[in-house]
Amino acid sequence: MRVFSEKPTLILINPWIHDFAAYDFWSKPLGLLYLAGYLREQGFEIHLVDCLDIHHPGLKAGPHLKAPKRHAFGTGKFWREQIPRPEPFRKIQRPFHRYGISPELFIQDLKKVRNPAAILVTSLMTYWYPGVQEAIRLAKEIHPGIPVLLGGIYARLCHRHALGFSGADRVFQGGGLEAFKAVLQMLQGVRDPSREAPLVFDNLPYPAFDLYSRIDYLPLLTSLGCPFHCQYCAGPFLNPGMVRRSPRQVLEEILFWHRRHGVIDFAFYDDALLIDFENHLGILLEEVVKRNLSLRFHTPNAVHIRAITPEAAKLLWRAGFRTLRLGLETVDPLLHQVLDQKVAAGEFERVVGYLQAAGFTKKELGVYLLAGLPGQSADSVKEAIQAAHDQGVDCSISEYSPLPHTALWEQAKAHSKYDLEEEPLFQNNSILPCWEEAERARMPELKKMVKEFRRGKKI
């Protein structure tokens, strides 16, 4: 790594999504933005290229790039352009898209930076790696000889594949706050990192959302990690243990973005937001209520049903939660016993009663239901949809994505006709890789059932 005497510039890239479907459900590269804020404080100039930025000033609708429909609270569709399906998907007769800005805009953004010190690329879902490949390939064409560093979820869960196929010069396997230090050490050529003090979550600079031309909403993290070890989740591998910020620090961040940038929609990215509610989130929300801030909070990640008491339900409503998603996953007690042990019989119905008594309606409430699990039947999913309907709660089907480093990985490989290990594209939840054809063929029926429920029809 070169050592610069002047203030060096770094290019940070959030790549495209290449997929059958993608939706902006308060989706921002929060880890990359935290890293941007941290490296900026360390003396680097930061140039962000977010391929998924729907407000990129150069975007214009045309014959090949469709303008996205946007909805309340900052969610909606991405810009997209249809592209050829990858070879492993050649037999799947569904349109395939590049979601995000055009490659021409991406190249223009890269050319704005002269002599960057390095290019840092993040990655999200494992099966989105073709977008990572495309971003790295173009970045190397525009800035030949400049080192490209890759981190993120794909880089960690499919490290061997990323080493062989991403095109990056360095692929980081570690994560969390220590990964920030590792990146800085590489950029600065530090040889003895053991003498440096560990990073503290509360002391990190705010994520660099100011690098965007417009901020519709703001993702928040009050904690990293989760005390549960659900069989289908890679969280324990990606964030072992649990680290929490102080409620005061989170409140100050909310006030900063609200007062300086007018943000009123905040989406919590925590994996275990409600755990120890009285000593953590509850303290934060009481302060929000005291200040009468009229904010709106959202939970794109499911919250734990068992953690919701009548008192917590009332405080969530008073503080401004307008999108509350519950992690029901299934109503099959045997599946719960095997997968997560998060919900016991009667708990879902009881907690929905707490929330409805507090003021939540079908408009604000919803549950996530898993489909496509190894050994799971379509009838089991249908039963869960009916259970949500019976409680007057909206539901969303989350197709299961088999991921390395999860407890269910070996079982997933055994149930799938695809080579999940060698080709991460086959980990795509859209193709329901762990269901037999007979169960897969019933997915339209299940989705129709959900739609009819949302329209108020009897099921």
Could you report the per-residue pLDDT of 134-166, keeping only the tens digit for each?
A: 999 999 999 999 999 999 999 999 999 999 999
Based on the fold, state whether residues 113 and 256 are members of the same structural domain: no
Residue 199 half-sphere exposure, CB side, CA atoms within 13 Å? 18
To the nearest whole percent, how much of the chain has pLDDT over 90?
Answer: 84
pLDDT in tens, 321-380: 999 999 999 898 878 777 877 888 899 999 999 999 999 999 999 999 999 999 999 999
**Secondary structure of 168-179 as H, E, C letters:** CCEECCCCHHHH
Number of compact structural domains in the chain: 2
User: Which pLDDT belongs to residue 393?
Assistant: 95
Based on the fold, state whether residues 366 and 265 are members of the same structural domain: yes
pLDDT in tens, 362-373: 999 999 999 999
The CATH number that applies at residue 346 is: 3.20.20.70
pLDDT in tens, 237-293: 999 989 999 999 999 999 999 999 999 999 999 999 999 999 999 999 999 999 999
Based on the fold, state whether residues 350 and 282 are members of the same structural domain: yes
- Per DSSP, the three-state class of 353 is helix
Query: For the chain, what is the mean pLDDT?
Result: 93
> Does some domain include residue 211?
no
Based on the fold, state whether residues 278 and 396 are members of the same structural domain: yes
Statement: residue 446 has pLDDT above 90: yes
pLDDT band at 177 (very low <50, low <70, confident <90, very high): confident
Based on the fold, state whether residues 333 and 398 are members of the same structural domain: yes
Task: Look at residues 204, 207, 206, 177 and name the one whose alpha carbon lies nearest to residue 193.
Answer: 177
Based on the fold, state whether residues 242 and 278 are members of the same structural domain: yes
Helices (H), 292-428: 310-319, 333-339, 347-358, 378-390, 409-415
Statement: residue 120 has pLDDT above 90: yes
User: Which pLDDT belongs to residue 192?
Assistant: 46
Based on the fold, state whether residues 128 and 27 are members of the same structural domain: yes
Based on the fold, state whether residues 181 and 254 are members of the same structural domain: no
User: Which pLDDT belongs to residue 55?
Assistant: 95
β-bridge pairing 242-244 and 223-225: antiparallel
What is the residue range of 150's domain?
9-195
**Amino acid of residue 6:** E
User: Which pLDDT belongs to residue 199?
Assistant: 80
> Does some domain include residue 209?
no
Based on the fold, state whether residues 318 and 422 are members of the same structural domain: yes
The CATH number that applies at residue 175 is: 3.40.50.280
User: Which pLDDT belongs to residue 333?
Assistant: 82
User: Which pLDDT belongs to residue 344?
Assistant: 80
Question: pTM for this structure?
Answer: 0.95
Q: What is the mean pLDDT of residues 185-190?
A: 78
Statement: residue 459 has pLDDT above 60: no
Q: What is the DSSP letter of 193?
A: G
> Does some domain include residue 90?
yes
What's the CA gap between 85 and 88, in Å, rounded? 8
Sheet containing 97-99, strands listed edge to edge, beginning at the edge strand earlier in sequence: 17-19, 97-99, 80-82
Statement: residue 77 has pLDDT above 80: yes
* CB crowding 192-227: b at 16 or more within 10 Å, else e: eeeeeeebebeebeebbbbbbeebbbbbbbbbbbbe
pLDDT band at 3 (very low <50, low <70, confident <90, very high): very low
pLDDT band at 457 (very low <50, low <70, confident <90, very high): low
User: Which pLDDT belongs to residue 335?
Assistant: 83
Statement: residue 5 has pLDDT above 60: no
Length of the chain, in residues: 459
User: Which pLDDT belongs to residue 72?
Assistant: 86
